Structure 1
């Protein structure tokens, strides 16, 4: 029951989390019903999270880290990278669909007058970066779907392509290649539609001992 209580408390915290203007259809001064949006202090927040008389807090960081200890229950998200900020934004969208917004929390993201802080603008810029990276990653997955793979102690590993490998339904099968991404020390197996064009891409590499047009490749342990 304690776990459920904790979830309920922090759910309420997130509902009145930071609401950047570009993150929601409401303005900084009007609600969806045209009413002024309230700016809540920590005491008022505690009334919404079910702990009247205790100190309410914005626990934004915990929704990304999963750290619900006292030190993890903080609104300091300065250590999050762009992709993690997107994850936090996804939580915000979830709670917006489920709960009614009761206002803005004065603190790290909003001033007492309800104005966005410099830190909020910084988080917004990270969100934009994260969403751009996510879009690029999704586009890459469509262009280079992941391979199917399996491994056994007796036969070793194998990667292969099909018309649905990587969860991408398509009309072509493709051939396996190693894809090296910028900034990553490793590679992942992807299916490429045109083997000859792939040979001209410096980020793509054939598997050792695997024929150029083979749709499956054995991996030596």
Structure 2
């Protein structure tokens, strides 16, 4: 009886697998059945010309109908080079030549990837998504390629870096700065310096980039615990962030002065 049950189970699995394969080949089963998949030559027909079937463009392999923005993308318009293709790279570089209107974004920086992500958000918000184009970012089955996964990873890291930068700016807001030929540079702090509103003023300090001699003026909180210190820490000192290891005082400037000068 056990042997019969086992044969029945194996037969059932084989039949199910064969049915699934047949359905997939016939197009009945597709996890992305509602999403159209273009080949590049097909997408190239959608340039908005008189006899063209529509006006589409692709960004990171995602195809959008930009007919509502026709004046920007139709033949002869400023951004007509984007129509009918994936020109992801040009969204960042601004190179609208044939050599620049390509989908290769492999060498873009993290900040450029963030710009590209912002463009993708723009098109997702303002235009209809109509499908995907086979190539660098999507396969024939409409599934993401390893290169798209890498791009998305870079975008995630870019967002994290941006959040970290904003967090550091809140901790160390940039100083107000002015320069004159007679007095040199003046650095000072206020409750709105660097575009950061806060309930403290702080004092000017040089904040050095780790491992370099590069620095810029920031305002540093002088009271309370350090910004990165956990509440209740027994080593807590009432010096704000003054003891941060990457900070240096300005020469000939009182440690608690709100304004400092440097020679012209």
The TM-score range, normalised by the shorter chain, is 0.7 to 0.9
Q: Structure 2 length as normaliser, TM-score?
A: 0.66
Q: Confirm or deny: 8 A CA contact 1:150 1:158 kept in the other structure.
A: yes
Q: What is the match of residue 41 of structure 1?
A: 39
Matched, 1:216 2:244: no
Q: What is the match of residue 21 of structure 1?
A: none
CA RMSD of aligned residues (A): 2.3
Matched, 1:150 2:178: yes
Matches within 5 A, 1:168-207: 168-182=196-210, 185-194=213-222, 196-207=239-250
Q: Structure 1 length as normaliser, TM-score?
A: 0.78
Matched, 1:110 2:153: no
Q: Aligned partners of 1:78 and 1:183: how far apart in 2?
A: 28
Taking a change above 3 Å as real, the CA distance of residues 159 and 131 of structure 1, as seen in their structure-2 partners, is same
Moved more, 194-203 or 49-58: 49-58
Q: Aligned partners of 2:171 and 2:203: how far apart in 1?
A: 13
- SS at 2:200's partner residue? coil
Q: What is the match of residue 4 of structure 1?
A: none
Q: What is the match of residue 82 of structure 1?
A: 110
Q: Aligned partners of 2:187 and 2:207: how far apart in 1?
A: 13
Taking a change above 3 Å as real, the CA distance of residues 209 and 29 of structure 1, as seen in their structure-2 partners, is farther
- SS at 1:141's partner residue? helix
Q: Confirm or deny: 8 A CA contact 1:198 1:204 kept in the other structure.
A: no
Report deviation, 1:184: 5.4
Q: Aligned partners of 1:167 and 1:159: how far apart in 2?
A: 15
Q: Confirm or deny: 8 A CA contact 1:29 1:37 kept in the other structure.
A: no
Residues 85-139 of structure 1 show CA distances to partners (whole Å, capped at 9, x for unaligned) of 1110011111211111111121100012101101111111111111111110011
Report deviation, 1:57: 2.2
Q: Aligned partners of 1:184 and 1:36: how far apart in 2?
A: 53
Q: Aligned partners of 1:160 and 1:29: how far apart in 2?
A: 60
Taking a change above 3 Å as real, the CA distance of residues 99 and 145 of structure 1, as seen in their structure-2 partners, is same
Report deviation, 1:45: 2.1
Q: Which has the higher contact order (CA 8 A, sep 6+)?
A: 1
Taking a change above 3 Å as real, the CA distance of residues 140 and 42 of structure 1, as seen in their structure-2 partners, is same
- SS at 1:213's partner residue? coil
User: Which residue, 58, 71, 84 being the options, matches 1:56?
Assistant: 84
Residues 152-206 of structure 1 show CA distances to partners (whole Å, capped at 9, x for unaligned) of 2232111111001111111111111111123655112111112745442221111
Which runs of 5 or more residues in structure 2 are unaligned? Answer: 1-29, 54-80, 224-238
Q: Point out the structure with max Rg over C-alpha.
A: 2
Equivalent residues, number: 190
- SS at 2:128's partner residue? coil
User: Which residue, 60, 69, 74 being the options, matches 2:97?
Assistant: 69
Which runs of 5 or more residues in structure 1 are unaligned? Answer: 1-27
Residues 40-86 of structure 1 show CA distances to partners (whole Å, capped at 9, x for unaligned) of 22233234332549993211111111111221111100101222111
